Chain A
């Protein structure tokens, strides 16, 4: 790479006893409490399950994880780092360094999965595929070009779309395996990554919205148009990428619903309205249940027309600050 990534111009000693934005501390604490390493997850318990997959399914899984590795590498070494010079507070800078490090942990996690389940030859082939797949390379290039761009708020848009949208064509697969009781430990690890990405997307999206405060109407409109244009560009590429990967196993249509569902959430993280209507975001319940176990309990009391009205039995909760 010839061009240099911009560094922050002036560094001041960070004083955590004088906080300008409470969100910085809140998110820092949340990220620190969520810290994990792949070694904590007993991936080797998935070896038997891996052996039950067909060759096509193994190939798909390797490719999906290699694609995710590329995105996490990009976000760890370029994306999160490129946000540092634009930080409004020194604590915001610190949060980005935490995000960057965790992205590197995520990238390394896929290698842990590979080394547990696959042979060196299979791993090398998957990495070679990742450098040759047009749509995968294109998605990395699109995002990277915006990271090298001049506009700090556009960098935040690109970063939020990566964190909250671009990972999900890949995240679908381990959730699919998990819903079939396969590679369940791998799915546990991926759920930790999914949780982290939610905090990253929320925080970067929040800082984007802070940056919009006080901007002119023209500027706000420019950034909104830009967000939707970039989303469409990435979406079209994601659809191609999804077909490349999932057509052989017949899952493309459901993966696309998952893309729509997460595109909506990415836009909401940036403070914009959801774009895809409910008719195209109806991801299969098995995937949602794998993503969010126990969340499918009936929590739509309204549509239950009250007939199944049952008050939960009061049980002692364990929350240590629950006190009344």
Chain B
């Protein structure tokens, strides 16, 4: 763990500003709320990664899927926002991560959903699905059904082989 991440962790502990979550779905959405709208349409219990540093940090206690948008920096730089970085610096949040769903815009070309792809690669989990902006009704259905199947014991066992 880097010194910065360590300091982060200690701060979180020292100030007690931590919130534990048992959600199987954790997402980030900026103030534009595109991703939040998609999550609302899923009608599933979900936890939101805080936007502001003053909010308590989110710690996952059970396996979960991460759903995040990509912000298109030049050549994919800074595509993962600091809030998501901060969230993933907690060991528990990386240990419990099972898969990533990406929101994006194909206008960004080869960097479409690059944040989700990079996190999946770094954390050794699959990209489960990608969709654009706030998602179409087909996307909502695919993700809803996909997640339900994903969390069945059979599916989970297959992944652990």
Q: Which residues in window 301-324 of A have CB below 8 A to B?
A: 301-303, 306, 309-312, 314-315, 317, 319-324
Which of chain A's residues has its CB closest to B81's CB?
Answer: A26
Complex interface: stretch among B14-22, B54-62, B67-75: B67-75
Q: Number of A residues contacting the other chain (C-beta, 8 Å)? A: 50
Whether B73 lies near A30 (C-beta < 8 A) is: yes
The dominant DSSP class at the A interface is: loop
Whether A306 lies near B155 (C-beta < 8 A) is: yes
Whether B136 lies near A321 (C-beta < 8 A) is: no
Instruction: Fill in one digit per residue for B23-58: 1 if any A CB lies within 8 Å of its CB, else 0.
Output: 000000011101001000000000000000000000
Q: Which residues in window 178-203 of A have CB below 8 A to B?
A: 191, 194-195, 197-199, 202
Q: How many A-B residue pairs have CB under 8 A?
A: 143
A292 within 8 Å of B (CB atoms): yes
Give bound CA distance, A123 to B78, whole Å. Answer: 40
Q: How far in angstroms is the closest Cβ of chain A from B117?
A: 8
Q: Number of B residues contacting the other chain (C-beta, 8 Å)? A: 61
Residues of chain B within 8 A (CB-CB) of A293 are: 109-110
Residues of chain B within 8 A (CB-CB) of A195 are: 72, 107-109
Chain B positions within 8 Å of A, measured between CB atoms, are 1-2, 4-5, 30-32, 34, 37, 71-74, 76-80, 82, 85, 88-89, 94, 99, 102, 105-110, 112-113, 117-118, 120-122, 124-130, 132-134, 136-138, 142-143, 145-147, 149-150, 155, 158-159
Known contacts A195-B109, A291-B106; 17 additional CB pairs below 8 A are A21-B31, A33-B77, A199-B72, A274-B137, A292-B106, A295-B109, A295-B110, A301-B126, A302-B146, A306-B155, A319-B77, A319-B78, A321-B78, A321-B85, A323-B85, A324-B85, A324-B88
